[in-house]
Amino acid sequence: TGHSPQVKAFVTQDIPFYHNLEMKHLPGADPELVLLSLRYEELERIPLSDMTREEINQLVQELGFYRKETPDAPVPEEFQFAPAKSLPILRPPEAPTADGKTPPKHDKEEHLDL
């Protein structure tokens, strides 16, 4: 199985733009995208061999990978850990109060100076 020119173009030309996207080349293996959690647990594998370069670009962006303006461009703070799908623990859903309204945001900050 040879790498399709589409996948090769993505690997050589597009991957440098993506933050946290790395290519590990396994000789003879079909190219696939392996999604890892922050603890490096494998989440899923997506085979790329039948996809066009455009489809792969679309896929990694849908997965939440941040595409930089240039390969050396700085990555905004909020994208440092992108794709953030692997970070569900940091954002617990807001618990509604008894009357069903979510508590006002500024509530916590008022008590910081105690």
pLDDT digits (tens, 9 = 90+) for 33-62: 888 887 888 888 999 999 999 999 999 999
Residue 10 has a pLDDT of 94
Do residues 48 and 31 make contact, with C-beta atoms less than 8 angstroms apart? yes
pLDDT digits (tens, 9 = 90+) for 7-19: 999 999 999 999 9
In the chain, domain spans: 5-79
**Residue the block writes with tokens 């603890």:** 39
The strand pairing partners of 33, in sequence order, are 46
Confidence of residue 103 (pLDDT cuts 50, 70, 90): low
- Give residue 84's region: left, alpha or beta (phi > 0; psi -120 to 50): alpha
- Which architecture does CATH list for 5-79? 3-Layer(aba) Sandwich (3.40)
pTM flag (> 0.75): no
* 3, pLDDT greater than 90: no
pLDDT digits (tens, 9 = 90+) for 105-114: 555 555 555 5
Do residues 15 and 6 make contact, with C-beta atoms less than 8 angstroms apart? no
